[in-house]
Amino acid sequence: MSAPEGSHPPFFANAQVMALDPADIFIPERIGFLHEDKAVALGRLMAVDGQRDPIKVAPRKGKQPWKLVTGRHRLRGAEIEGIQVWAIEVGGDASDHADLEASENLHRRPLGPIERAKFTAALVQAAQERIAREHGDLDQYQRAAKARWDRVKRFEETVDKALQAEADDAADKMSAAYGWQESVADALGLDKRTIRRDLSLYRLLIEPFPDVIEALSKHPIVGANFSQLMKIAAVEDDKRRSTIEQLLADDAIDVTEARKRAGVHASTEPATRTDRDVYWSRIAANFSRAGRSERARFLPKLVEILTPGERSDLRDLLDQGGEHAS
């Protein structure tokens, strides 16, 4: 059985860490449930990138000299990959171990949208560069990525189109780098839809404004609200920073108020209704007049008409409560 990537356990300074065979670890009754797809995903990450966080075990008598305390999914992932697992020995009795398992799961901090977007972007970039290196075209990959966003800056390509292309490419590269199927990627929230959501924040907020993004993530109204953050991302480039600065200056306002203070105003001129405007207005009016059963029958046909990118946009709008990012 091989050890995880690298000859020594990374990031475990001043800790007594052991490389164990999963077969030597007894698994007692657990508080939480095992999600096989999550274990598969974590196992692939450990096999390719190395294990970042050791499991916790306690000594026991019997054929299997160790008992699992925390880290069921990492242990199962290592077993699936046929690799050893890094572990730390802990003391205490059975009640202490149950408390440790419950505490670790209860206090496992969920990532806010900005922090999550940073981690997703880093993982995506690592996967893309690994694939590019394997094929000897790292420089070509980096040039292609830069060219895509250069086209956006020159208004030769829309942000939506660039994000969709990048998300599609990223999901494909992740699948190739880690060899997982869609259900496995979904278990870690790394399917195409969530990758696009995270990359949207990364490209439009995190990358352009690294000096203020951490402070923005701590804003009590906006920092943990994906919909609010995307409203900032929708602001014109030259007004986006000033919108963020207004939020940082007053933690009691939301993005709508911050945009007003930054001088981002909707046009007061009456919109000119084109033939296309009238056409879409008629479609909306006809749909609103239809009964509930008629709408239900039409929805599957609507889904067939939409492109994959439009379906992803529709899901995002539904997640945001149906509000357009304006």
Do the Cβ atoms of 37 and 183 come closer than 8 Å? Answer: yes
Question: Rounded CA gap, 146 and 160, in Å?
Answer: 16
pLDDT for 248 equals 95
Nearest to 309 by CA among 199, 226, 192, 231: 192
Backbone angles phi, psi at 325, to 5 degrees: -75, 110
Residues 6 or more apart in contact with residue 166 via CB below 8 angstroms: 145, 148, 196, 199, 203
For residue 227, what are the β-bridge partners?
none
Sign (positive/negative) of CA torsion 295, 298, 302, 303?
A: positive
Topology (CATH level 3) of domain 17-106: 3.90.1530
Nearest to 53 by CA among 37, 72, 66, 28: 72
User: What confidence tens digit (pLDDT) does each residue in 143-194 have?
Assistant: 777 777 778 777 777 778 888 888 888 877 777 777 777 777 777 777 788 8
Residues 6 or more apart in contact with residue 116 via CB below 8 angstroms: 189, 198
The C-alpha R_g of the chain, in whole angstroms, comes to 24
Give residue 325's pLDDT band: very low, low, confident or very high (50, 70, 90).
Answer: very low
pLDDT for 85 equals 96
Q: Residues for the chain: how many in total?
A: 326
Buried b (16+ CB within 10 A) or exposed e, 189-209: ebbbbbbbbbbbbbbbbbeeb
Question: Rounded CA gap, 69 and 88, in Å?
Answer: 10
User: What confidence tens digit (pLDDT) does each residue in 10-52 have?
Assistant: 444 455 889 999 999 999 988 777 888 888 888 888 888 889 8
pLDDT for 254 equals 94
Nearest to 42 by CA among 76, 91, 92, 11: 76
- E strand spans, the chain: 17-20, 25-26, 55-59, 66-70, 85-89
Question: What rounded mean pLDDT belongs to the chain?
Answer: 80
pLDDT value at 106 more than 80? no
For residue 129, what are the β-bridge partners?
none
Sign (positive/negative) of CA torsion 9, 12, 14, 20?
A: negative
pTM over 0.85: no
Nearest to 206 by CA among 121, 324, 126, 264: 121
Give residue 311's pLDDT band: very low, low, confident or very high (50, 70, 90).
Answer: confident
Domain boundaries, given as residue ranges, for the chain: 17-106, 113-261, 275-319
Nearest to 199 by CA among 210, 212, 190: 190
